[in-house]
A and B are shown apart, each in its own frame.
Chain A
Amino acid sequence: MSGHDSKYFSTTKKGEIPELKEELNSQYKDKKKDAVKKVIAAMTVGKDVSSLFTDVVNCMQTENLELKKLVYLYLINYAKSQPDLAILAVNTFVKDSQDPNPLIRALAVRTMGCIRVDKITEYLCDPLQRCLKDDDPYVRKTAAICVAKLYDINAELVEDRGFLDTLKDLISDNNPMVVANAVAALAEIQENSTRPIFEITSHTLTKLLTALNECTEWGQVFILDALSRYKAADAREAENIVERVTPRLQHANCAVVLSAVKMILQQMELITSTDVVRNLCKKMAPPLVTLLSAEPEIQYVALRNINLIVQKRPTILAHEIKVFFCKYNDPIYVKMEKLEIMIKLASDRNIDQVLLEFKEYATEVDVDFVRKAVRAIGRCAIKLERAAERCISVLLELIKIKVNYVVQEAIIVIKDIFRRYPNTYESIIATLCESLDTLDEPEAKASMIWIIGEYAERIDNADELLESFLESFPEEPALVQLQLLTATVKLFLKKPTEGPQQMIQVVLNNATVETDNPDLRDRAYIYWRLLSTDPEAAKDVVLAEKPVISDDSNNLDPSLLDELLANIATLSSVYHKPPEAFVSRVKSATSRSDEDDYPEGGETAYSESPSHGINNAHTASHAAPKQPAPAPAPPAPAAPVPDLLGDLMGMDNALVPVDQPSTTSGPPLPVLLPASTGQGLQISGQLLRRDGQIFYGLMFENNSQTALDGFMIQFNKNTFGLASAGPLQVAQVPPGGAARTLLPMVMYQNLSQGPPGTLLQVAVKNNQQPVWYFNDKFSLHVFFSEDGRMERTSFLETWKSIPDTNEIAKDLTSAIIQSIDSTIENLAASNVFFVAKRRNANKEVLYLTCKGPKAVPFLIELTAAIGVPGVKCAVKTPSPELAPLFFEAMESLLK
Chain B
Amino acid sequence: MISQFFVLSQRGDNIVFRDYRGEVQKGSAEIFFRKVKFWKGEEADEEAPPVFNVDGVNYIHVKVAGLLFVATTRVNVSPSFVLELLQRIARIIKDYLGVLNEDSLRKNFVLVYELLDEVIDFGYPQTTSTEVLKSYIFNEPYVVDSGRLPPLGPAAMFMQSTKRMPGTAVTKSVVANEPGGRKREEIFVDIIEKISVTFSSSGYILTSEIDGTIQMKSYLTGNPEIRLALNEDLSIGKSGTSAYDYRSSSGGGTVLLDDCNFHESVHLDSFDIDRTLSLVPPDGEFSVMNYRMTQEFKPPFRINALIEEAGAYKAEVILKVHAEFSPTVTANTISVQMPVPSYTTRVSFELEAGAVGQTTDFKEANRRLEWCLKKIVGGSEHTLRAKLTFTQEAHGNITREAGPVSMNFTIPMYNASKLQVKYLQIAKKSQSYNPYRWVRYVTQSNSYVARL
Instruction: Identify which of residues 223-261 in chain B touch chain A, using a CB-to-CB cut-off of 8 Å.
Output: 237-238, 243-244, 258-261
Residue count of chain A within 8 Å CB distance of chain B: 105
Q: Which residue of B lies closest to A37 (CB)?
A: B110
Enumerate the 9 nearest inter-chain pairs by beta-carbon distance, A residue then B residue, closest first.
A327-B447, A4-B142, A297-B50, A286-B259, A255-B81, A622-B25, A4-B107, A66-B138, A293-B211
Instruction: Identify which of residues 4-47 in chain B touch chain A, using a CB-to-CB cut-off of 8 Å.
Output: 16-17, 21-27, 46-47
- Complex contacts, B296 vs chain A, CB 8 Å: none
- Complex contacts, B125 vs chain A, CB 8 Å: 218
Q: What would 18 more interface pairs be, CB under 8 Å, given A286-B258, A286-B259?
A: A4-B108, A41-B110, A145-B122, A216-B128, A221-B78, A259-B81, A286-B292, A289-B259, A290-B292, A295-B83, A301-B79, A301-B80, A328-B404, A360-B404, A360-B451, A368-B46, A582-B76, A583-B75
Q: Would you call A5 and B111 a contact (CB within 8 A)?
A: yes
Compute how far the CA of A592 lies from the CA of B122 in the bound complex, rounded to whole angstroms: 17
Compute how far the CA of A583 lies from the CA of B3 in the bound complex, rounded to whole angstroms: 13
Compute how far the CA of A333 lies from the CA of B63 in the bound complex, rounded to whole angstroms: 14
Question: A567 on the interface (CB 8 Å rule)?
Answer: yes
**Residue in A69, A252, A575 whose CB lies within 8 Å of B287:** A252
- Output the residue of B23, B110, B446 with the most chain A CB within 10 A: B110
Contact A328 B83, CB 8 Å, known A5-B107, A250-B261, A584-B74: no
- A-B pairs with beta carbons under 8 Å apart, 26 shown: A6-B109, A152-B21, A181-B124, A188-B1, A217-B128, A252-B263, A258-B80, A259-B81, A290-B258, A290-B259, A295-B62, A295-B83, A297-B83, A298-B80, A301-B83, A329-B406, A333-B48, A356-B206, A365-B366, A571-B53, A571-B79, A582-B53, A623-B23, A623-B25, A626-B56, A627-B56
Q: Which of B163-171, B394-402, B417-425, B426-434 has 4 or more CB atoms under 8 Å from chain A? A: B394-402
Instruction: Identify which of residues 321-362 in chain A touch chain B, using a CB-to-CB cut-off of 8 Å.
Output: 322-323, 325, 327-333, 356, 360
Q: Which residue of B lies closest to A279 (CB)?
A: B243
Contact A5 B83, CB 8 Å, known A37-B110, A325-B207, A623-B22: no
Q: Would you call A252 and B264 a contact (CB within 8 A)?
A: yes
Instruction: Identify which of residues 91-116 in chain A touch chain B, using a CB-to-CB cut-off of 8 Å.
Output: 103, 110, 113-114, 116
Compute how far the CA of A217 lies from the CA of B57 in the bound complex, rounded to whole angstroms: 26
- Complex contacts, A283 vs chain B, CB 8 Å: 243-244
- Complex contacts, A782 vs chain B, CB 8 Å: none
A contact patch SS: helix
Question: A89 on the interface (CB 8 Å rule)?
Answer: no
Instruction: Identify which of residues 162-197 in chain B touch chain A, using a CB-to-CB cut-off of 8 Å.
Output: 196
**Residue in B57, B124, B289 whose CB lies within 8 Å of A218:** B124
Smallest beta-carbon distance A655→chain B, Å: 37
Q: Which residue of B lies closest to A146 (CB)?
A: B122
Q: Would you call B117 and A570 a contact (CB within 8 A)?
A: no
- Complex contacts, B449 vs chain A, CB 8 Å: 327-328
Question: A1 on the interface (CB 8 Å rule)?
Answer: yes
Question: B121 on the interface (CB 8 Å rule)?
Answer: yes
Compute how far the CA of A625 lies from the CA of B23 in the bound complex, rounded to whole angstroms: 8
Q: Which residue of A lies closest to B82 (CB)?
A: A255
- Output the residue of A44, A569, A623 with the most chain B CB within 10 A: A44
Q: Would you call A44 and B17 a contact (CB within 8 A)?
A: yes
- Complex contacts, B75 vs chain A, CB 8 Å: 191, 583, 585
Contact pattern, B 390-420, Cβ under 8 Å of A = 1, otherwise 0: 0000010100110110100000000000000
- Complex contacts, B451 vs chain A, CB 8 Å: 360
Compute how far the CA of A221 lies from the CA of B17 in the bound complex, rounded to whole angstroms: 25
Q: Would you call A330 and B76 a contact (CB within 8 A)?
A: no
Q: Would you call B62 and A1 a contact (CB within 8 A)?
A: no
Compute how far the CA of A795 lies from the CA of B391 in the bound complex, rounded to whole angstroms: 68
Q: Which residue of A lies closest to B48 (CB)?
A: A333
Q: Would you call A259 and B55 a contact (CB within 8 A)?
A: no
Compute how far the CA of A188 lies from the CA of B50 in the bound complex, rounded to whole angstroms: 25
Question: B87 on the interface (CB 8 Å rule)?
Answer: yes
Question: A233 on the interface (CB 8 Å rule)?
Answer: no
Q: Would you call B51 and A301 a contact (CB within 8 A)?
A: yes
Smallest beta-carbon distance B210→chain A, Å: 9
**Residue in A40, A255, A591, A627 whose CB lies within 8 Å of B78:** A255
Contact A572 B76, CB 8 Å, known A5-B110, A252-B287, A325-B198: yes
Instruction: Identify which of residues 281-331 in chain B touch chain A, using a CB-to-CB cut-off of 8 Å.
Output: 287, 289-290, 292, 294
**Residue in A216, A221, A298, A582 whose CB lies within 8 Å of B83:** A298
Q: Which residue of A lies closest to B241 (CB)?
A: A282
Compute how far the CA of A574 lies from the CA of B177 in the bound complex, rounded to whole angstroms: 44
- Complex contacts, A323 vs chain B, CB 8 Å: 209, 294
Smallest beta-carbon distance B395→chain A, Å: 6
Contact pattern, A 592-633, Cβ under 8 Å of B = 1, otherwise 0: 100000000000000000000000000100110111100000
Compute how far the CA of A217 lies from the CA of B262 in the bound complex, rounded to whole angstroms: 12
Q: Would you call A65 and B237 a contact (CB within 8 A)?
A: no
Compute how far the CA of A625 lies from the CA of B73 in the bound complex, rounded to whole angstroms: 11
**Residue in B25, B47, B122, B289 whose CB lies within 8 Å of A625:** B25
Q: Would you call B117 and A69 a contact (CB within 8 A)?
A: yes
**Residue in A296, A300, A619 whose CB lies within 8 Å of B55:** A619
- Complex contacts, B87 vs chain A, CB 8 Å: 295
Contact A73 B138, CB 8 Å, known A116-B22, A301-B83, A622-B25: no
Question: A649 on the interface (CB 8 Å rule)?
Answer: no
Q: Would you call B84 and A255 a contact (CB within 8 A)?
A: yes
Smallest beta-carbon distance A568→chain B, Å: 9
Smallest beta-carbon distance A300→chain B, Å: 6
Compute how far the CA of A508 lies from the CA of B347 in the bound complex, rounded to whole angstroms: 56
Question: A302 on the interface (CB 8 Å rule)?
Answer: yes
Q: Would you call A585 and B446 a contact (CB within 8 A)?
A: no
Question: B126 on the interface (CB 8 Å rule)?
Answer: yes
Q: Would you call B292 and A253 a contact (CB within 8 A)?
A: no
Compute how far the CA of A333 lies from the CA of B39 in the bound complex, rounded to whole angstroms: 11
Q: Would you call B79 and A574 a contact (CB within 8 A)?
A: yes
Q: Would you call B78 and A290 a contact (CB within 8 A)?
A: no
Smallest beta-carbon distance A244→chain B, Å: 14
- Complex contacts, A570 vs chain B, CB 8 Å: 76-79
Compute how far the CA of A632 lies from the CA of B399 in the bound complex, rounded to whole angstroms: 56
**Residue in A3, A216, A293 whose CB lies within 8 Å of B127:** A216
Question: B374 on the interface (CB 8 Å rule)?
Answer: no
- Output the residue of A191, A402, A623 with the most chain B CB within 10 A: A623
Contact pattern, B 255-280, Cβ under 8 Å of A = 1, otherwise 0: 00011111110000000000000000
Contact A6 B81, CB 8 Å, known A297-B50, A333-B49, A626-B56: no
Question: A699 on the interface (CB 8 Å rule)?
Answer: no
Q: Which residue of A lies closest to B28 (CB)?
A: A625
- Complex contacts, B136 vs chain A, CB 8 Å: 103
Q: Would you call B61 and A297 a contact (CB within 8 A)?
A: yes
- Output the residue of B81, B106, B400 with the most chain A CB within 10 A: B81
Question: B140 on the interface (CB 8 Å rule)?
Answer: yes
Question: B101 on the interface (CB 8 Å rule)?
Answer: no
Q: Which residue of B lies closest to A221 (CB)?
A: B81
Question: B436 on the interface (CB 8 Å rule)?
Answer: no
Smallest beta-carbon distance A485→chain B, Å: 33
Compute how far the CA of A188 lies from the CA of B73 in the bound complex, rounded to whole angstroms: 13
- Complex contacts, B138 vs chain A, CB 8 Å: 65-66, 69
Contact A402 B395, CB 8 Å, known A5-B111, A73-B113, A332-B47: yes
Question: B114 on the interface (CB 8 Å rule)?
Answer: yes
Smallest beta-carbon distance B33→chain A, Å: 16
Compute how far the CA of A290 lies from the CA of B264 in the bound complex, rounded to whole angstroms: 17
Smallest beta-carbon distance A371→chain B, Å: 13
Question: A401 on the interface (CB 8 Å rule)?
Answer: yes
Question: A730 on the interface (CB 8 Å rule)?
Answer: no
Compute how far the CA of A402 lies from the CA of B394 in the bound complex, rounded to whole angstroms: 11
Instruction: Identify which of residues 30-55 in chain A touch chain B, using a CB-to-CB cut-off of 8 Å.
Output: 37, 40-41, 44
- Complex contacts, A191 vs chain B, CB 8 Å: 75
Question: A383 on the interface (CB 8 Å rule)?
Answer: no
- Complex contacts, B397 vs chain A, CB 8 Å: 400-401
Smallest beta-carbon distance A250→chain B, Å: 5
Smallest beta-carbon distance B206→chain A, Å: 8
Compute how far the CA of A366 lies from the CA of B29 in the bound complex, rounded to whole angstroms: 29
Compute how far the CA of A255 lies from the CA of B79 in the bound complex, rounded to whole angstroms: 8
